[in-house]
Chains A and B, each alone.
Chain A
Amino acid sequence: MATGPIDGNFEILKLDGVTRRFAGITALDGLDLTIKRGEFIALLGPSGCGKSTALNCLAGLLPLTGGGIWLDDRRIDVLRPEQRGFGMVFQSYALFPHMTVRKNIGFGLMMRKVAKAEIEQRVTEALRMVRLEAHADKLPGQLSGGQQQRVAIARAIVVQPPLVLMDEPLSNLDAKLRLEMRVEIRRIHKELGRSTIYVTHDQDEALSLADRIVVLHDGRVQQVGSPEDLYARPANHEVARFMGYQNSLALDVVGGADGETKLAGPGMSVQGVGHVQSGRAVASIRPEDLVAGAEGVNTIDVRVTGAEYAGREFVGTAVTQDNQPVIFRSPLRISTDELVRLSVPTDRVRVFAESQR
């Protein structure tokens, strides 16, 4: 088997039951995933869900404790990181502080023993792509966060790796820059035509960037699908939470028909989409779908615990009579300890069986 980094593209990258345990804790539990050439995949999940572990396993920075990774017909999880040749963009950028921007970007090409003139030309090309031509001879310490981030991207893509791995690359940037860089990343991905795996905890990033999203929770895959799919039909309340259903209310099943379930709890009566036979269930509701003060079929009585002015409206935090937290929006001023009746249309409530954990 060749010792140099893998060159050229692939048709299918297959993760087969990829598992990683740390001293008895399973950080990643049997991740199965098939990635086609040119796809943009987002691994989405809260911190500690195993998404960074998955990325490090792919890059070869963490050995697997179970499963395998296949690039077409070639098993690659046994290869060292330098033999895999995947480009990686680190959350902390990990730029070499003693090398100029040009040297940083050219490092991977130098390792591949590319001729000097070609390195020069490809680095210049990469600098143009990330719009840093003017900063080529600066040290990373002289650049702003956004510029450093673009150097990190350029360094990872200049070697034209079959797969680019990105570990929350935008999490250290301010909101405005984050939006700009999101567009850049999408543009660069299109321009290169290579596959990208992008780790994030930000559903907006995942929804706007990815062709497919993998939602992870506690080291397990919750759902895999297109952004539209996940947004419209989340498979469980963990996925729903990431798709903006910030409220998860645990309630008793009291009835139901036609794919709808009727739930009740102290001061709450809610009917929603989704079928659960009996016992306990979770109702997932987006904050913006809760209407304060209106009467309807579905009502939730809450006591306000806090109100935050958010420009167009107030964002209220409240608790139900059995102390479950609720977040809602209100166009009217609300004040702490106020008792409010919230209502929500039935087609805006998703009902899931309570997770077995």
Chain B
Amino acid sequence: MSSLVASGGAVAGSKPGWRASLGWDGTTLLVLPAVLFVLAFFVFPCIYGLILSFMPLKGETFDNYIRFFSENRFYSTIWKTLLIALPATLANVFLALPIAFALRKTSKYQRVVTAILVVPITLGTVLVAQGLLGYLGPNGWFMRFLMTIHVIDEPFRMTHNYIGVLLSLIITGFPFSFLLTLSYVTGIDPMLAKAAATLGASPWTQFKQIYLPLLAPGLAMGFCLAFVQSFAVFPSAVLLGEPAGTTRVMALAVYQLAYEDYNAPMAAAGAMVMGAVQLIVVACVLGLRGMFYRGPVGGTKG
């Protein structure tokens, strides 16, 4: 690496080299593996899929997209997926915020509760779906408990429908939202809230005026990550949902096109639409994020 830099310098002579003018040095090469990885496994498949989507099995260039937006069984998946992913994401972000806020001070509870809340990460979607099927099913503990305390007389359906998928997405997505939010909350100097208190701010005002504005960019980031994760929902939509009806999500439709209809170009078009919808939502949220203060969250320059 050093020889590369040296030869670059030698070529440039006494004038600053083009590498130096770009702020590059030997360590710049360290990003190379990641760049290669992204090129090989993200950029190439994306471009391949994009081109493929414009080469329908029969018909004109844009026929796949025209078909996607004219047939109800395709375009309806956009709303169905958003209808699951957005509430699940919002629920996760707004459940994580108060819990992370309550645990912002380092204590033994913080570690214990964090450990318990993070367990679902280790379980995986399929295990959670399987567990919920039994637990929330008509003869599951949950229904029997509700009937025992006479809240309900007849079991109602919580699995093989929208509710089941939503719950499973919240359970599997929550740990990520929580950990992310916790790291943002604990990053805020607690002296700021104390300073606000001495100036007359009640605990609620301290939260509203100090914590919330400083957390907003982090919450937006957490929203984006949780949303992208929920939007790609597949296993729980099949196992816990109603794959032919309310939970026929985009990923499922694309899967069926690719591996049941063997129509790869049409599947590629579906995947492209899916990506575009995610990008639009993420871009909107990040656009909102730009309206908030995004500098350091300490009380001083340090």
Contacts of A145 in B (CB 8 A): 300-301
In the assembled complex, the Cα of A94 lies from the Cα of B213 at a distance in Å of 16
Q: Is the CB of B198 within 8 A of A88?
A: yes
B200 at the interface (CB under 8 A from A): yes
Cβ-closest 7 pairs across A and B = A98-B293, A111-B200, A108-B199, A94-B299, A94-B195, A81-B197, A94-B191
Q: Pick the contact of B300: A92, A155, A156 (CB < 8 A).
A: A92
Bound Cα distance from A107 to B299, whole angstroms: 15
B198 touches A81 (CB 8 A): yes
Asked if A85 is at the interface of the complex by the 8 Å CB criterion, the answer is yes
A267 CB-CB contact with B under 8 Å: no
- Residues of A79-123 contacting chain B, CB below 8 A: 80-82, 84-88, 90, 92-98, 107-108, 111-112
Tell whether, in the assembled complex, residue A80 and residue B197 are in contact, meaning their CB atoms are under 8 Å apart: yes
Residues of A within 8 A of B225 (CB): none
Partner among A86, A90, A143, A165 whose Cβ is within 8 Å of the Cβ of B191? A90
In-complex Cβ contact of A97 among B198, B201, B205, B214 (8 A): B214
Tell me the chain A residues, 47-64 only, with Cβ under 8 Å from chain B: 59-61
Q: Which residues of A contact B201 (CB under 8 A)?
A: 82, 107, 111
By the criterion CB–CB under 8 Å, are B297 and A90 in contact? no
A159 CB within 8 Å of chain B: yes
Given contacts A82-B201, A111-B201, A111-B205, contact A96 B301 (CB under 8 A): no
- A124-145 to B contact mask, C-beta < 8 Å, 1/0: 0000000000000001110101
> Which chain A residue has the least Cβ–Cβ distance from B202?
A82
Distance A107 CA – B200 CA, assembled complex (angstroms):
9
Cβ contacts under 8 Å, B189 to chain A: 92, 94
Judged by a CB distance under 8 angstroms, whether B73 is at the interface is no
Query: Which residue of chain A lies nearest to B200 when distances are taken between CB atoms in the complex?
Result: A111
A82-B202, A92-B300, A172-B300 known; A98 vs B196 contact (CB < 8 Å): no
Question: Complex: how many Å from CA A92 to CA B189?
Answer: 10
Instruction: Offer 19 A-B interface pairs, CB within 8 angstroms, sorted by A.
Output: A4-B200, A61-B198, A80-B197, A86-B198, A87-B199, A90-B195, A92-B189, A94-B194, A95-B195, A96-B209, A97-B293, A98-B213, A98-B214, A111-B199, A111-B200, A111-B201, A111-B205, A148-B300, A156-B198
| Interface residue A5 (Cβ < 8 Å from any Cβ of B) | yes
> Contact partner of A88 among B195, B295, B298, CB < 8 A?
B195
Chain B 76-95: CB-based contact to A (< 8 A → 1; otherwise 0)? 00000000000000000000
Decide if B23 is an interface residue (CB 8 Å cutoff): no
Is there an interface contact between A61 and B300, defined as CB atoms closer than 8 Å?
Answer: no
* Shortest distance from the beta carbon of A91 to any chain B beta carbon, whole Å: 9
B163 on interface, CB distance cutoff 8 Å = no
Could you tell me if A108 and B200 are in contact, using CB atoms closer than 8 angstroms?
yes
Please report A residues at the B interface, Cβ cutoff 8 Å.
4-5, 59-61, 80-82, 84-88, 90, 92-98, 107-108, 111-112, 139-141, 143, 145, 148, 155-156, 159, 165, 172
> In the complex, what's the smallest C-beta–C-beta distance from B193 to chain A, in angstroms?
9
Q: Which of B205, B210, B295, B301 has the most CB of A within 10 A?
A: B301
Interchain nearest-CB distance for B184 vs A (Å): 14
- List, in ascending order, chain B residues with CB within 8 A of A5's CB: 200
Residues from chain A with Cβ under 8 Å of B199 in the complex: 82, 87, 107-108, 111, 155-156, 159
CB nearest to A112 among chain B residues: B200
Residues of B within 8 A of A95 (CB): 195, 299-300
CB distance from A170 to the nearest CB of B (A): 14
For A4, list chain B residues within 8 Å (CB).
200
Q: Which of B268-302 contact A (CB under 8 A)?
A: 292-293, 295-301
Q: Is the C-beta of B192 less than 8 angstroms from some C-beta in chain A? A: yes
CA distance A156 to B197 in the complex (A): 12
Report A-chain residues with C-beta under 8 Å of the C-beta of B196.
96, 107, 111
CB nearest to A141 among chain B residues: B295
Closest residue of A by beta carbon distance from B217: A98
User: What chain B residues lie within 8 Å of A141 (beta carbons)?
Assistant: 295-296, 301
A172: chain B residues at CB < 8 Å are: 300
Closest B residue, CB atoms, query A159: B199
The complex places the Cα of A95 from the Cα of B199 at a distance, in Å, of: 12
Shortest Cβ distance from residue B290 to the other chain A in the assembled complex, whole angstroms: 14
A80 to B205, CA, bound (A): 14
Q: Are A93 and B198 in contact (CB under 8 A)?
A: no
A59 to nearest B CB, angstroms?
5
Q: Which residues of A contact B198 (CB under 8 A)?
A: 59-61, 81-82, 84, 86-88, 156, 165
Query: A97 to nearest B CB, angstroms?
Result: 6
Neighbour of B210 across the interface among A85, A96, A165, CB < 8 A: A96
Interface centre among B196, B197, B292 (most CB of A within 10 A): B197
Q: Select one of A81, A84, A97, A155 contacting B194, CB under 8 A.
A: A81
Q: Which B residues are in CB contact (< 8 Å) with A88?
A: 195, 198
Q: How far is the CA of A5 from the CA of B298 in the complex (A)?
A: 26
Given A111-B205, A148-B300, check contact A94 B192 (CB 8 Å): yes
- Tell me the bound Cα distance from A85 to B192 in angstroms: 16
Report Cα–Cα, A314/B205, bound state, in Å.
56
Give the nearest-CB partner of A91 in chain B.
B191
Which residues in A have their C-beta under 8 angstroms from that of B200? 4-5, 82, 85, 108, 111-112, 159
Cβ of A270 to closest chain B Cβ, rounded Å: 47
A123 to chain B, nearest CB (A): 13
A93/B194 in contact, CB under 8 A:
no
Is B300 in contact with A93, judged by CB distance below 8 angstroms? yes
Looking across the interface, which residue of chain B has its beta carbon closest to that of A155?
Answer: B199
